[in-house]
Structure 1
Amino acid sequence: MPGCFQYIPGMKQPVLPWVQVGVWVMVYLLLLVYTIQKWSDWPYGFTYTTVGVVFYIMTVYLHANWLLPRYFYRGRRSFYALFAGLLLVGLVALRMWVEYELLFTRMNRHPFFGWNFAHAAFDAITILLAFLFGFLLRVAINYVDLLQREERLRSRQTASELALLKSQVQPHFLFNTLNNIYALAVARSEQTAEVVARLSDIMRYFVDEAPKDRVPLSSEMTFIRNYLELEQIRLRYPLPVQVCINVVNPAPAIPPMLLIPFVENVFKHGIDKTRPDNEAEIRLTYQEERLDFLVRNKVFQTSEGPWRGLANLQRRLELVYPGRFEMRVFQEKEYFYASLAISRP
């Protein structure tokens, strides 16, 4: 629904709650040890520490979770100053009264906790320090919240980019295959029905497997075999392809359509359709948590420019396997090689 909204930092629940609980427990214990050592009196030290820490917590979170989000971050600075002053005065007065009733009247311990200037000054200073700590806490909460928002946005962006990169493979492949079927249909070839059946298998892969994050390695290789058979049909001279697979079970799951760009580039840029001496080799190895994939094909002077279509794959690998893959493309004598190695796929 169209509309406008204003983002107020920190309106969510405070982050890292257990860290805050740990800090307050530590503050309480340190004050408790100090007061007991100072007055050598467990009940008195316990009462004084409990009252003080309760008021510190009230000051910190009223400032961090109420005043700052409701007034300061919404630009209502005059109301913020007014209510901040009233809050400080009210907390100091309330704490003085509680300490007077508990520590001066009932325990009759020390005249410091009577209604006097020294008592008021001490409570005002400590409450003010807690008030400032509330501001620092809100800044920390906003910063962590911002980091979490950025991480969520990066994750969504990465997922969207992966989906886009993966989707770019399918239309391109389908376009080429439909062109092949059209050519066969025009020629009234007996292979038309077989090609349609192969295309049906591939479409099933697109629908059932391609939307997934990971697919079995065997499914990907079956898809590649179907692709090879489809491409062979449109060639004037059959392309001898040697496929060698050495996979140690259990085989890993990989992103769908991750390996097909290597094979597709053989037919796009790595063969001369007018010559009968084309050849290619595909090797897949998985052992010791390392996947190696190699594609080799002959190079002819008439080749359009081998392996031009792998930039998309490079970007996809950077998103899925950052720092865990190595892709090499090189020529050695009359052959082009494209290899991919993935650690812990």
Structure 2
Amino acid sequence: MKSDRKSKVYVHLLFWVLYYILEVYLDFYWSRYQFPDMAWQIRLQNTIVLELGYLLIKMPLAYSLLYVYEKTTIKRFLTYVFCCFIIVTAVLIHRFFTHYIIYPHIYGVTETLDGKQASGFINGLVAFNSFMDLIFMAGLIFGVEITRQKSLLKEQISLLKTEKLDQELSMLKAQINPHFLFNTLNNIYGMALKKADETPDVILQLSKVMRYNIYEATEKYISIDKDVENLKDFLQIQQIRHRDLVIIFNEEMDHPIQEISPLILIQFVENAFKHGVSETLGQSFLHIDLKLNNGVLHYHIENSKEEKPHGNSTKIGLKNIRRQLELLYPKHSLTVESTNDRYIVNLIIDFNDSSRF
């Protein structure tokens, strides 16, 4: 609300300054023909003064009309009546100021109309001229204010869309497989009962993964090397849980500090474990190739699966990932292939694309 008020003050102040300069220029130019014998310095001085007087008439008119237009809750007919009353009052004041103050006291002459002395401050033609002058000003201020409000509304809509997308992304991130934590804790419990030497290492890796998910993953973007490090910690824990699992992880990054949305990469791996590796009865494997070159990420995953997987639960995980990619990287490329014994995922993200919000 405060920013809206400040914006309105700045825009309207700029409008009146520019409008005043325009009116001074036009009246000064007109006075060359109306008062050819008057020195230009005097004409300029008179023009500056009289336009200040006109401004004191036009500004109340403008804001009275804006107030009636924006604030009134009465019927439309009565709104028109109020507006007409305000305009007629302003025209009368404008004519009085012109006829009785400007001409006799500033220019030192009697107001004339077509070379003849004006009989009074109310006359059809001069009143029409005053009316057009005031309406022109009112039209300008209404145009400025409506344009400002539309621009502000556009910014607010854009902000709401961004906030909505951020909330949706937060919800999608929160849907990351919670079974990993419970299963890992169960494994740690079993290892503790056996007094296995790897227990402290697993606890350390789990604490690193949880710290990343709770704190660092809340950022909108993070360097890809941190995301890859979290992925490696996750794989080390899974390697202990699945001792017969063969994991091959190749990485090649020419710009490790390239920013990426947290938890994008790990979700494909979680999906591989949840719907492939964990269901494989025989020898299971997981192959990951990650290459970042000139701002383009190539992410390839292959993992084992049973020939007849149980249900279609994998579609839910992929739907979540696809939605995040649509929001973050609209021009990404994602292909998922399923054969008799494996899943194959290929993801390409061009970080040079500026279309992401």
In the superposition, the TM-score normalised over structure 1's length comes to 0.79
Report how many aligned residue pairs link the two structures: 331
Specify the code of the residue in structure 2 equivalent to 1:63. L
Partner of 2:19: 24
Partner of 1:97: 96
Partner of 2:355: none
C-alpha contact 2:280 2:304 (8 A) present in aligned 1? no
Change (3 A) 1:28 1:223: same
The alignment partner of 2:264 has SS state of coil
Change (3 A) 1:56 1:332: farther
Partner of 2:176: 169
**Bigger shift: 218-227 or 92-101?**
92-101
How far off its partner does 1:246 sit?
Answer: 0.8
Please state if 1:245 is matched with 2:247.
no
1:78-117 to 2 correspondences below 5 Å: 80-81=79-80, 83-100=82-99, 101-107=101-107, 108=109, 110-112=111-113, 115-117=121-123
**1:93-138 CA distance string (max 9 Å, x none):** 2222322212344312741375241322321343245445555555
In the superposition, the TM-score normalised over structure 2's length comes to 0.76
Partner of 1:311: 319
How far off its partner does 1:230 sit?
Answer: 1.2
Distance 2:82 2:7 in 1: 22
Distance 1:316 1:22 in 2: 49
Change (3 A) 1:37 1:186: farther
Please state if 1:298 is matched with 2:316.
no
Specify the code of the residue in structure 1 equivalent to 2:330. P
Q: What's the % identity of the aligned pairs?
A: 24
The alignment partner of 2:91 has SS state of helix
Distance 1:93 1:202 in 2: 77
Q: Which runs of 5+ in 2 are unaligned?
A: 353-357
Distance 2:134 2:290 in 1: 69
**1:296-335 CA distance string (max 9 Å, x none):** 1234314446953121121112222233x22221246854
Change (3 A) 1:248 1:16: farther
Change (3 A) 1:291 1:95: same
Partner of 2:69: 68
C-alpha contact 2:336 2:343 (8 A) present in aligned 1? yes
C-alpha contact 1:329 1:337 (8 A) present in aligned 2? yes
1:1-345 to 2 correspondences below 5 Å: 13-14=7-8, 17=11, 20=15, 24=19, 28=23, 31-32=26-27, 35=30, 39=34, 41=36, 44=43, 47=47, 50=51, 54=55, 55-56=57-58, 58-64=60-66, 66-71=67-72, 74-75=73-74, 80-81=79-80, 83-100=82-99, 101-107=101-107, 108=109, 110-112=111-113, 115-117=121-123, 118-131=125-138, 134-169=141-176, 171-184=178-191, 191-235=198-242, 237-249=243-255, 251-271=257-277, 272-276=279-283, 278-304=284-310, 307-308=314-315, 309-323=317-331, 325-331=332-338, 335-344=342-351
The alignment partner of 1:213 has SS state of coil
C-alpha contact 2:24 2:51 (8 A) present in aligned 1? no
How big is the alpha-carbon RMSD for the aligned residues of Structure 1 and Structure 2?
3.7
**1:260-312 CA distance string (max 9 Å, x none):** 01111221122344212x22211111121112211112343144469531211
How far off its partner does 1:256 sit?
Answer: 1.5
**Bigger shift: 164-173 or 23-32?**
23-32
C-alpha contact 1:224 1:260 (8 A) present in aligned 2? yes
How far off its partner does 1:248 sit?
Answer: 0.7
